[in-house]
Amino acid sequence: MSDRTLELAERRAALLIRAAVQRREIAREVDAVEARLQSVDHWVTVGRGVLRHPAVIGAGLLALVLLGRTRVLRLLGQAVLIAGGVRGLLRSASKIL
């Protein structure tokens, strides 16, 4: 074999090893993302089930009728702000711990 052929064969082998290592790293990352998304999917499914429950829909309509559209929208806005703040606090606490 010529020197060039040996050089190309060694380079090809090194690239194949590098590609295999990269595939394993990517597979690990994908597994981690899938694990996170499984919990998100679970909670989205639970949330949809709760929000589609007739009692929740009835309570929402009752609140809308009793409190009026303006108050309900203001309360929803405040609830979203509070939920965002709580989520931020929980994230900060999890980073500290």
pTM: 0.45
Within 13 Å, how many C-alpha atoms sit on residue 48's CB side?
6
72 burial class (0-12, 13-18, 19+ CB within 10 angstroms)?
A: middle
Question: How sure is the predictor about 97, in pLDDT bands with cuts at 50, 70 and 90?
Answer: low
pLDDT tens readout for residues 41-71: 888 888 888 888 889 888 888 888 888 888 8
Question: How sure is the predictor about 17, in pLDDT bands with cuts at 50, 70 and 90?
Answer: very high
Cα 84 to Cα 92: distance, rounded to the nearest angstrom: 12
